[in-house]
Amino acid sequence: MQEENRTFVPGSFYGAIDLGTNTCRLLIARCTPTDNGFSFAHVDSLSRVIRFGEGLGTTKKLSPQSMERAFLALEECKKRLEFHQVKRFRCVATAACRYALNAEDFVQEAEKKSGVAIEVITPEEESRLAVAGCAELFDSSKPYVIVLDIGGGSTELVWAEAKDTQNFRIIDNLSFPYGFATLREQLKDPETRDQISQFFSAEINEFAVKHNLHEHIRKDDVQMIGASGTITTLAAVVLNLDSYDKARVHEAKLYKSDIENVIRYLKATRYADRAHHPCIGQQRADSIMGGVTLFESIYDIIPAEPIIAADRGVREGILFALAQEDIAGGKTEKA
């Protein structure tokens, strides 16, 4: 995290970089105060598929090729941050760096080459940021929220108490060392796929029983938010869009029957058909099925509906946290 004086200046820019197992994402936004706290207006963004965790499951190390792709993406992120004169930004790395034996070497080399300091965050911190990133969607009439984030290298399931859009408390979280990218190879073996599904089912069922989730769903005092590419892709297909439209996907409500129909359709299609689908494309044609496998394992046990699709996540959570720190930790100056 960049260390600056904790002074909040209305209209100032904040930056967030999420270095994931499959993709490196940057978001730059302008923060302004509101009656209820503050809000963000997006200024610039970047998304690069770098396949950062490619081969990690076999070698337990980040490959030279994947690290080079990450260096180039981070250098581009830094150029954009400098162009917009962003003084406060944070770069976090998630599952790939958590599991890689050579992660420390990568982090040091990345800072030398790109000038970006990287924090390798825990699953708990990743869950907190994911919840903060989609908090704007919290329904004030429902005191609890389930946030599902299927990433490239891990999957986070969070149970939280939501008081309002900028005030929440995480009660518990469940993190799995599997994501849509890391399941590509495992899905080719039916026996391995079944073992993973059984493992997920057992863990999720225990989580659901522990927090009495089925009773909360029956009472309709909980909402479920899907903050991941898997959910937003399913939403785009459900909406039958001509191309992925962030504005229409974000906040889309997905009902069980629609989800089941889309999953049935995806399972019946070939790779080439998915690659030519306007809302899936070549980048997701293969990995979407890994995300679907993980999603089904969770939704079979926690069938809350509707699921709210959130085109938000860790990056928005980082921006939220940075602004909150500045407002709480220092004086506010005029722009």
With the C-alpha atoms ordered 245, 143, 127, 326, is the resulting torsion angle positive or negative? positive
Quote the percentage of the chain above a pLDDT of 70: 90
Residues of the chain with CATH 3.30.420.150: 137-312
Nearest Cα to 225, choosing from 198, 197, 249, 209? 249
Q: Are 317 and 128 in contact (CB under 8 A)?
A: yes
Residue 117: both structure tokens together? 């300091």
Residues spanned by CATH 3.30.420.40 within the chain?
Answer: 13-123+315-329
pLDDT for residue 184 = 67
Residue with tokens 């079979």: 300
pLDDT in tens, 21-70: 999 999 999 988 777 667 889 999 999 999 999 988 889 999 999 999 99
- For the domain spanning 13-123+315-329, the CATH number is 3.30.420.40
**What integer pLDDT is reported at residue 141 of this predicted model?**
92
- pLDDT tens digits along 192-239: 767 777 888 889 999 999 999 999 999 999 999 999 889 999 999 999
pLDDT of residue 6: 57
CATH architecture of the domain 137-312 equals: 2-Layer Sandwich (3.30)
pLDDT of residue 188: 65
Geometric angle at alpha carbon 244, from 238 and 249, rounded to 5°: 55
Distance between CA atoms of residues 27 and 89, nearest Å: 10
Q: Tens digits of per-residue pLDDT, 68-116? A: 999 999 999 999 999 999 989 999 999 999 999 999 999 999 999 999 9
Q: How far apart are the first and last CA of the chain?
A: 23
Q: What is the pLDDT of residue 329?
A: 64
Return the structure tokens found at 120: 């390798």
User: CB of 313 within 8 A of CB of 134?
Assistant: yes
Task: Retrieve residue 123's tokens.
Answer: 């699953």
